[in-house]
Every structure is written in C-alpha cells, then in structure tokens.
Chain A
Amino acid sequence: MSVRVSRRNFLKLGAAGLGASSMAMMGFAPDQALASVRHFKLSGATMTRNVCTYCSVGCGMLLYARGDGGANVIDNIYHVEGDPDHPVSRGSLCPRGAGVLDFIHSPSRVKYPEVREPNTNEWKRISWDEAFDRIARHMKDDRDRNFQTHDDQGRLVNRWMTTSMVAASACTNETAYLTQKITRALGILTLDNQARV
C-alpha cells in the first residue's frame, strides 16, 4: 500500500520536524538522560585466597569465582586481584600476576595427562591412573638400575643420582615438605624447587 503525501502535507510535516528538532536542541528533550556506572562485577562472588604460581616472590591473590559453592554449580574463576592481607605483596601484583586470569583460561593450558611415545610427534591423552602407573614404573626401573649404596671409597651413601625432582616455587609449606620428604626418601639428591619452572 502506498501512502500518498501531498506537497502541502509534506511541507507541514517537514516544518513540524524542524520545529521539534530545534526545540530538542534548545534543551526541551523529551527523554531525561540519567547515568549509571557499570555494575560492580564481584557482588556475590566466591572469594578464595591463593598464592601466585608465577615466581618465587609468592604474591597473595584473591580468586573470584562465579557461584556460591552450591552443589549444582561448577565454579569458574572470572577475576583475580591482589590479596591486601598478604604480607609479601599487600594487594599488589606484577603484570604477569595481574593477568593471571588469561593464564588460568588459556586455550593451551594442559588439563589432563598426555604422553608422547618414542618415535612419534603426537601427544596422546591418557588417564591419571595410567599416568601414575607409568611414572612409577619408570622411576622404579631407573632406581633399580642406578641406585648406589656405596661410593668409590666404600662409604655408605644410598643415593639415586640419575633422576631429579623439579618442583615449582608457588607451593605451600605443606607441599614443599611433602616434596622434600618424598624426594629424600627415594634417595634423590638433585632437587630443584625454583621459580621458572
């Protein structure tokens, strides 16, 4: 259906439009403009304290997850900032720590055990049980083969020199204790527990 607008009506409409827009320009706007700040994104989030995983400074972090811990929610971290009560960092973070959220959600993050078999360049996903079994097997074999009870001069040493434990810095005291205990119990001497792992 076509709307027929005569020349006269067209001019009238035009004049009305011009008048209305001039009125709006002079401040008689029909709609009152209010303002709003962006909604605060942490209301109701579950806050968890943790230690930054990046380096040996061990800054305190607050991890904010959506969800209140109810049985039907799988929490997801969506904001991280410094822990003001942490004695080391008192709320501050370095650029890496401040951007740790993207590290947590990195698409290349390893989330499950994988193995690259000899003579292949493919990583194959395996189960945790399988991974533990394989690691234990390798360790046992190597230890059985290379464990030294006595050194060249016949002194008792009980050491395993062909395997080393490489741990990261961001562990808690408890983790550090367990790492040390397991490593020493196995007779491993080369233990490195540092930042840039």
Chain B
Amino acid sequence: MRGDQINLQDIVARSASPTPSPHVRSGNIQQVAKLIDVSVCIGCKACQVACSEWNDLRDEVGHCHGVYDNPIDLSAESFEVMRFSEYVNEEGDLEWLIRKDNCMHCAEPGCLKACPAPGAIVQYANGIVDFNSEHCIGCGYCRAGCPFDIPRYSEKDNKAYKCTLCSDRVYHGLEPACVKSCPTSAIMFGTKEAMLDYGAKRVASLQERGYENAGIYDPAGVGGTHVVYVLQHADKPEIYSGLPKDPQISPVVEAWKGITKPLMSAVLGLSVLTGFFHYMIKGPKEEPEDDPDPEKAAADRELDRREGDRP
C-alpha cells in the first residue's frame, strides 16, 4: 500500500484524520529540538549542502542575484536556505545577520491543520512534523496554513515538500544532517529542554557582550517550535529576513478548519438525512401524465419501462 510500510505508533497528530492515531508508545519519548544560533553562524552553507546530500536532492543551479542567498528561495528541492540581511543598528554600524531558514516544526502546525489529505502531514511524539508525500494531493493548502511560508510545491510530481528535521536520521538515533555538518556549532541538536538550557547560556553570553535584547525565538503563537533561534536582537525578529514577530496560524485557516468545515459537514449530512426521510415518508416523486390521452400515455410508460430512447 502507498508508502505505509511502517506503522510507527508514535504519531500524535495526523492531517484530516478525525480518528486518533495509535500512539500508546509515545510515553517518555523526549521532545527533540534544533537550535540555530544566528550569532555564531558564518554563512558557509555546509548545512545546505549536507541537507541536499542526505535527502538526495540536487536543485537546479540558479543564477546570481547579487546577494549571497543561493538559492534565492526555498524550493521543493531546497529544504533550507541561508538568508543574508544587512542591518544597520542604532549606532550606525553594519551587522550581517545570517539566518538559516527552514521548517520550524511548530508544536501546533498550521500546515497539518490546513491539510485536507488524510495522513499527508503527521506529527511525531518527538515533535517532528513530517510530510508523507505518498498521501499528498498537491493542493498547496499547507503553504497557506504555514505562518513561516515554508512548504514548497514540486512541479515534477505535484506534491509539497519541506524539511523533515531528518526524521529518518532522528528515528535511528542520529542528529539531523545539517546539525552534524555545522563547523561553528551554530546549529545544535538535543532535547527541547537541553536546547532551551543551552540557548539561555548563549543569550546570557550575548547580553554580557552588549546585546541587551538577545533572546531565544520560540514563538508561543504556534505553541512553541522544535527549531529555535538564538537572536542578538530578539525584540525585532523581522530584521532577520522577515522572521515573523508573533507567528499565528492564519485566521482564515482557523475559521475554515475550526468552524466552517464541521458546520458545513453537519449541514451536508442533515440535508442527506432530510432527503432520506422525505423519500421514506412521501415516496418518490410522481411525474404527471404527459398525455391526457390514456392510450398514448400507456405507450409512453411502456417505453419508459423498456428504458429505450425516446423517438
């Protein structure tokens, strides 16, 4: 059956599936997290290469856009990109802010909420949000539901793709490929708790060095994320190539999946039921005789019964 070789049994949420997933085995599974320390990133893009290598992705060689961003945007074959921004601070000094942009693995994923294909998006007990491409119908709603604009649609197979936080590696006890490759320890991996601890130390160190507003980016609007940033200027995340200050699942998606869908399902079900009872009580609709002449009308009925074409 379509890509269903493994029944993981540690899935805590599935897209478009009202029946709960089997997840009795989620007990004591630790929540994992990736920490991206923007303050020590040198923008070498080893993580990007390691990502492509591990995931067997080879995106098209693009063009230079006059900036270091390469590729210029995420794609179905580039799960992560480094976004470079030049920021002039209050003292008039230039700061080069380099942010590794990839899926944030939200605790309350907007993509999963928006997805209409059963099981195409799942959330594991360890916090990873994964796309099961076998079930993807390529509608692109996940991108509309994502507060960080991450999923990308592939023109090759009409399916959506994004970073998996190397769920295959993590499942086998390894760290994600990007984490392992990082030569400056700007990307760290561990339990969410350990990452927040480590992040707090980094923030304290940055504050000591004069970055008063340094902080951890773990937005509460999406229930926290399993990819957290350490930012020098946590008070204005938007300077990091448009990192949203208070990301929320779009109210349209919320209204549609939260209110409209169950309401419309109820209305639809009710109308089917009404039709059924109407049929039982009133019976089928009788057509009036077309012809007042009983003989011709009888001939018409005969024709109807034989289900033939009318002359």
Residues of A whose CB lies within 8 Å of any CB of B are 4, 6, 8, 19, 22, 25-27, 29, 31-43, 79-82, 84, 89, 91-99, 101-102
Cβ contact within 8 Å between A22 and B53: no
Interface residue total, chain B, C-beta cutoff 8 A? 47
**B138 → A minimal CB distance (Å):** 16
Q: Which residue of A lies closest to B168 (CB)?
A: A38
Cβ contact within 8 Å between B44 and A36: no
Cβ contact within 8 Å between B272 and A89: no
Which of chain B's residues 215-273 have a Cβ closer than 8 Å to chain A? 265, 268-269, 272
Complexed CA–CA distance, A99 and B18 (Å) = 43
Residues of B whose CB lies within 8 Å of any CB of A are 3-8, 11, 14, 17-19, 44-50, 52-54, 58, 118-120, 122, 130, 132, 134-135, 164, 167-169, 171-172, 177, 180-183, 185, 265, 268-269, 272, 307
In the assembled complex, which residues on chain A have CB atoms less than 8 Å from the CB atom of B119?
Answer: 33-35
In the assembled complex, which residues on chain B have CB atoms less than 8 Å from the CB atom of A35?
Answer: 4, 6, 8, 11, 14, 119, 122, 130, 132
Q: Which residue of A lies closest to B271 (CB)?
A: A22
Cβ contact within 8 Å between B53 and A101: yes
Complexed CA–CA distance, A103 and B7 (Å) = 37
Cβ contact within 8 Å between B8 and A93: no
Cβ contact within 8 Å between A27 and B6: no
Known: A35-B122, A41-B168, A92-B46. Is A27-B19 also a contact (CB below 8 A)?
yes
Cβ contact within 8 Å between B168 and A37: yes
* Closest 10 A/B residue pairs (Cβ): A33-B119, A27-B18, A98-B49, A33-B118, A98-B50, A36-B6, A99-B49, A35-B122, A6-B307, A92-B183
Among B46, B171, B180, B307, point to the contact of A40 (Cβ < 8 A).
B171
Q: Which residue of B lies closest to A57 (CB)?
A: B183
In the assembled complex, which residues on chain A have CB atoms less than 8 Å from the CB atom of B6?
Answer: 34-37
Complexed CA–CA distance, A183 and B180 (Å) = 39
Q: A36-B7, A37-B168, A79-B53 are in contact. List 4 more A-B contacts (CB 8 A).
A: A35-B11, A82-B180, A98-B53, A98-B181
In the assembled complex, which residues on chain A have CB atoms less than 8 Å from the CB atom of B268?
Answer: 22, 25-26
Cβ contact within 8 Å between B49 and A34: no
Complexed CA–CA distance, A36 and B8 (Å) = 7
Residue pairs across A and B with Cβ atoms less than 8 A apart, 22 shown, are A26-B269, A34-B8, A35-B11, A35-B14, A35-B122, A36-B7, A36-B132, A38-B167, A39-B168, A43-B172, A80-B53, A81-B50, A81-B177, A81-B180, A92-B183, A92-B185, A93-B50, A94-B46, A94-B183, A95-B44, A97-B46, A99-B52
Known: A4-B307, A98-B50. Is A81-B172 also a contact (CB below 8 A)?
no
Q: Which residue of B lies closest to A80 (CB)?
A: B53
Cβ contact within 8 Å between B168 and A40: yes
Cβ contact within 8 Å between B183 and A93: yes
In the assembled complex, which residues on chain B have CB atoms less than 8 Å from the CB atom of A94?
Answer: 44, 46, 183
**B36 → A minimal CB distance (Å):** 15
Cβ contact within 8 Å between A19 and B46: no
In the assembled complex, which residues on chain B have CB atoms less than 8 Å from the CB atom of A25?
Answer: 265, 268
Q: Which residue of A lies closest to B173 (CB)?
A: A40
Q: Which residue of A lies closest to B55 (CB)?
A: A38
In the assembled complex, which residues on chain B have CB atoms less than 8 Å from the CB atom of A96?
Answer: 49
Complexed CA–CA distance, A98 and B172 (Å) = 20
In the assembled complex, which residues on chain B have CB atoms less than 8 Å from the CB atom of A93?
Answer: 46, 50, 181, 183
Complexed CA–CA distance, A99 and B307 (Å) = 70
Cβ contact within 8 Å between B180 and A79: no
Complexed CA–CA distance, A37 and B5 (Å) = 9
Complexed CA–CA distance, A98 and B45 (Å) = 10
Complexed CA–CA distance, A6 and B3 (Å) = 40
Complexed CA–CA distance, A99 and B50 (Å) = 7
Complexed CA–CA distance, A162 and B130 (Å) = 62
Q: Which residue of B lies closest to A100 (CB)?
A: B53
